[in-house]
Every structure is written in structure tokens, then in C-alpha cells.
Amino acid sequence: MALVRHDKREVQFKIVYCGPPEGGKTSNLQYIHRRLDPALRGDLVSVATETNRTICFDFLPVHETVVAGYRTRFQLYAVPGQRLLAGTRQSVLAGADGVVFVADSSRARLAANLEAWQGCREALAANGLHPGRIPVAWQYNKRDQADALPPEDFDEVFDVRDPAFLACAVSGYQVFATLDWISGEILRIFHASLPAGRRAKAPLALSR
Ligand SMILES: Nc1nc2c(ncn2[C@@H]2O[C@H](COP(=O)(O)OP(=O)(O)OP(=O)(O)O)[C@@H](O)[C@H]2O)c(=O)[nH]1
Ligand SMILES: [Mg+2]
């Protein structure tokens, strides 16, 4: 749910990266953090174990352009993928304006992707949210894997209708394309919710 501060003319949006364990959620945020102008972003906060798996969430604030007189701020979160941390995922998804589902393209991880998508939908539902009502960006990550499933198979299994992003989060390939799409969708929805006289004429997308 966009947090609008009319007094400060600022609006804050929340984007949550979900997906199977070790699918590349943290890698997406790390790449974004590395590549964004430090003036446009805060610090990347990661809570990880000694083996470097996310156990709580990753958090990256991204300050952005002005839309209809409102300064926008995107809070990027990556949930932990491990099965035992469903409660954490549910809390992190509270109030999400959009979700990036980072799937692992490896054929061997298909069942893990399905389980994660089911868990993501349940966590959204527990927060009164629904994938049909908030934008979901599909990112088929790890396209460099030798056993990567054809994208058409993913589209069919997950009934994906929007364009999916074929990514390699470690090299950054399609990481910003994914972020641009989800932030553009969120801004479009916010924009459409404003009274006609307050709508911006400028293009709505994250700039770098
Ligand atoms: N080959 C390859 N490896 C990747 C890619 N993206 C991430 N990885 C690797 O996959 C491993 C897990 O990546 P993370 O970004 O930590 O995954 P995560 O989804 O945050 O994992 P959890 O927080 O444990 O759920 C790391 O060793 C990454 O370097 C990719 O596109 N290709
Ligand atoms: Mg992680």
C-alpha cells in the first residue's frame, strides 16, 4: 500500500522480491545497490547467517524522481527463501505495492519454484493482497545454467501472461529491466489513483 505523506509531498512504495531458496533475490538487490548512484539510494542492509543466506530480509531504499509533485521512494525488500521462514516472509510482504518473483531457471528447481510461488501467494493472501490486484514481475533467473528450462515452459506452468525477464542476477543482466517494469507498473497504478488535475505528464519509470 503506497504510503502517501501529503505534508511532505512524498510517496513511498514497497517492492518485495520473493522466490525459491537461493534463486537470486539477494543478488538482484546487491546488483541494484552497486549500480545506483549513491545519491539515489541508501545502504543495503542484509541479515545473513555465517553461510551468507538471508535469514531476515534485505532492505534497500531507492529515492526517485518526482511524480505529480510527489517525491517517490521505493523500498526494496528481499524475503528469505528457506521453508522454515514463512512467518518472516508474511511480515515482509505486508503492505507490498508489487512483487518480483525471482524463479530459478534450473530444471532441477522447478518443484522449489512451485512451492515458493504457492508460499508467496499464501503470504500475500494473509495480508489481504492478491497477485491479480498488485503487479507481479516474473524474473526467470540463472539463465546461464546448462539445464535452464525454456521460458515457454515457465509461462505455462505458472500461467504467466506478462513478459517475463530472462535474467542473470550475478552479472546484472535484466536486473534493472525487471525493476523498471515493476516500478513503472506501481507508478502507473498510483498515477491512475490521483485526481485528474494532479496527474503528471512526465514518463513514469525509474531513471538511473
Ligand atoms: N549461475 C548463477 N548463479 C546465480 C545467479 N543469481 C544468483 N546466483 C547465485 O546463487 C546463489 C544464491 O543467490 P542469492 O542471491 O543469495 O539467493 P537468494 O534468493 O537471496 O537466497 P535466500 O536468501 O537463501 O532465499 C549465490 O551463490 C549467487 O551467486 C545467476 O543468475 N546465475
Ligand atoms: Mg537472500
Distance CA 77, CA 28 (A): 10
pTM confidence score: 0.91
Q: Report the separation in Å between the CA atom of 31 and the middle of ligand 2, taken as the mean of its atom positions.
A: 13
- Mean pLDDT score of the chain: 87
* Closest atom of ligand 1 to CA, residue 19: 19
Q: Give residue 165's pLDDT.
A: 98
Rg of the Cα trace of the chain? 17
Does residue 13 have a pLDDT over 70?
A: yes
When pLDDT is averaged across residues 43-72 and rounded to a whole number, the result is: 75
Task: Give domain status of residue 60, yes or no.
Answer: yes
Q: Give residue 56's pLDDT.
A: 67
For the chain, helix (H) and strand (E) counts, in that order, are: 5, 8
Are 100 and 76 in contact by the 8 Å Cβ rule? The answer is no
Q: Give residue 199's pLDDT.
A: 61
The single-letter code of the amino acid at 40 is L
Nearest bound ligand to the CA of residue 51: 1
Task: Give domain status of residue 206, yes or no.
Answer: no
Distance CA 43, CA 46 (A): 9
Query: CA 128, 61, 169, 106: dihedral to nearest 10 degrees?
Result: -20
Q: Give residue 200's pLDDT.
A: 56
Tell me the best of 104, 165, 170 to mutate to test the pocket of ligand 1, counting ligand atoms within 8 Å of each CB and taking the most. Answer: 170
Task: Give domain status of residue 50, yes or no.
Answer: yes
Q: Which of 47-51, 88-92, 119-123 has the highest mean pLDDT?
A: 119-123
Distance CA 21, CA 45 (A): 19
172 lines ligand 1 (CB under 6 A): no
How many domains in the chain? 1
Distance CA 175, CA 150 (A): 19
For ligand 1, atom 14, the nearest C-alpha belongs to 24
Closest CA to 15 of 119, 89, 99: 99
Provide the 3-class DSSP secondary structure of residue 38: helix
Higher pLDDT, 65 or 74: 74
Task: Give domain status of residue 208, yes or no.
Answer: no
Q: Report the separation in Å between the CA atom of 5 and the middle of ligand 1, taken as the mean of its atom positions.
A: 35
Domain of 15, CATH number, reads: 3.40.50.300
Task: Give domain status of residue 55, yes or no.
Answer: yes
Q: Report the separation in Å between the CA atom of 188 and the middle of ligand 2, taken as the mean of its atom positions.
A: 28
170 lines ligand 1 (CB under 6 A): yes
Are 23 and 82 in contact by the 8 Å Cβ rule? The answer is no
What residues contact 66, with CB distance under 8 A and at least 6 apart? Answer: 72
Q: Whole domain around residue 186: which residue ranges?
A: 3-198
147 lines ligand 1 (CB under 6 A): no
Task: Give domain status of residue 204, yes or no.
Answer: no
Q: Beta-carbon neighbour count of residue 34 at 10 Å?
A: 9
Task: Give domain status of residue 70, yes or no.
Answer: yes
Task: Give domain status of residue 136, yes or no.
Answer: yes
142 lines ligand 1 (CB under 6 A): yes
